[in-house]
Amino acid sequence: MKKIVLFLPVTAALITACGATSTPATLSTLVLGGVTSPLQISGDAKLSVVATDTNGQPFAGTPTFTSSDPNVIAVAADGVLNVRHLSTAPVVLTASEGGKSATLSVTTYGLDAFGGTYNSQVTDTKVGYYFAFAFREKNGDSNPIDTPLTLQGPVGFNKGFPIDATLLTQSTLTSRTAKSNRDVPIVSGLYTASSTVNGVLFTKTFVLDGAKILETPNKVNVSVSKLGYTATGTTPTGVESLYTDVFADSTDEITDNLIQLPKSGNWETPLPPGTYYVTTSARSYNASFGKPFPDQVNRSEYYQGQVVIP
């Protein structure tokens, strides 16, 4: 009898040595690490990812990194972090791949700063500088009160001399101080703030664009009386903080934020009789909102004149 032999095609990739069907390994878990909270502003930091596949073996992939607040901590495609500002709330860093994700919640510490233009109209209009600084220790503490700080500007700023300031201890950012001068013209470029706190040198660099100028609040009209004020008019575009200061030699009263006009309010104490100077100041940032510093804040000021309280 003739034997008939059948040859059946077999896909080798679907057959293992023992005859079982194999399944390609896929991503199973992601663990995000490489950094420890809190992160120092301007410090070196890079995220790392440990990934395993369904067989428990290392998984080689290309995760995508994101930050919940790139203004505070920006993250590059390779996981390198740019720690830019003091946090007012934890920042969530995320690594994502293949439908899976891993997160880290971090805060920041160190020296923070921003610069901007100061557009001031008193008897004439000049554009000078406006800077603000803040500090927080790694353990969350503030700096010792009145800690010296210096700011060095680009070539041409302040005739080559640094600006001296001090770090105070009053802010949601732990410590904060501001400094402005309309008589020192601003220069665009790179600025570096530095301060030694408890024996450790902290620095913060930032870029300032001198072409960005905030319109003066010359369309805001504030009527002042012995008991209070009424503000009407138009708030300049881009303003978050708008206040009117009514002051004399021994008395100084400041309105509530006039960001929404019209607005009325009362002084904490009635104004004594006398002649008062009235100045309205605007900023493109409001620290009382509980937001981190932006990269640049511009300030403007308008002198409204005098008022006599009988």
Residue 214 vs residues 231, 233, 244, 253: alpha-carbon distances, Å: 20, 17, 16, 24
Full-model pTM: 0.85
Check residue 75 and give its pLDDT: 97
Residue 64 has φ and ψ, to the nearest 5°, of -105, 130
Contact indicator for 298, 285 with CB cutoff of 8 Å: no
Residue 70 vs residues 50, 81, 241: alpha-carbon distances, Å: 23, 10, 23
* pLDDT tens digit sequence for 204-247: 999 999 999 999 999 999 999 999 999 999 999 999 999 999 99
Position 245, amino acid: D
Q: Span 75-99, mean pLDDT?
A: 95
CA 79/CA 13 separation, integer angstroms: 36
Q: How confident is the model at residue 102 (pLDDT cuts 50, 70, 90)?
A: very high
Check residue 23 and give its pLDDT: 67
CA 41/CA 254 separation, integer angstroms: 34
* pLDDT tens digit sequence for 241-284: 999 999 998 889 999 999 999 999 999 999 999 999 999 999 99
Q: How confident is the model at residue 5 (pLDDT cuts 50, 70, 90)?
A: very low
* pLDDT tens digit sequence for 106-143: 999 999 999 999 999 877 789 999 999 999 999 998 88
Nearest to 104 by CA among 37, 17, 201: 37
Check residue 200 and give its pLDDT: 95
Residue 288 has φ and ψ, to the nearest 5°, of -70, -10
Q: Which CATH architecture has domain 110-208?
A: Sandwich (2.60)
Contact indicator for 66, 92 with CB cutoff of 8 Å: no
Q: How confident is the model at residue 170 (pLDDT cuts 50, 70, 90)?
A: low
Contact indicator for 83, 73 with CB cutoff of 8 Å: yes
Residue 103 vs residues 7, 37, 204, 252: alpha-carbon distances, Å: 54, 13, 27, 49
Nearest to 65 by CA among 87, 44, 46: 46
Share the mean pLDDT of the chain: 89
* pLDDT higher than 50, residue 3: no
DSSP string, the chain: -----------GGG--TTSPPP----EEEEEEES--SSEETT---B-EEEEEETTSSB-----EEEES-TTTEEE-TTSBEEE-S--SSPEEEEEEETTEEEEEEE-EEEEEEEEEEEEEESSSEEEEEEEEEEEE-TTS--PPTTEEEEEE-STTGGGGPPEEEEE-S-STTSEEEEEEETTS----EEEEEEEEETTEEEEEEEEE-TT--PPP-TTEEEEE-SSEEEEEE-PPTT-SEEEEEEE-SS-EEEPPP-SSSSEEEE-SSPPPSEEEEEEEEEES--GGG-PPP-SB--EEEEEEEEEEE-
CATH number of 17-106: 2.60.40.1080
Which residues sit opposite 255 in a β-bridge? none
- Can you read off the two tokens belonging to residue 236? 């300049």
**Token match 């095609």: residue?**
9
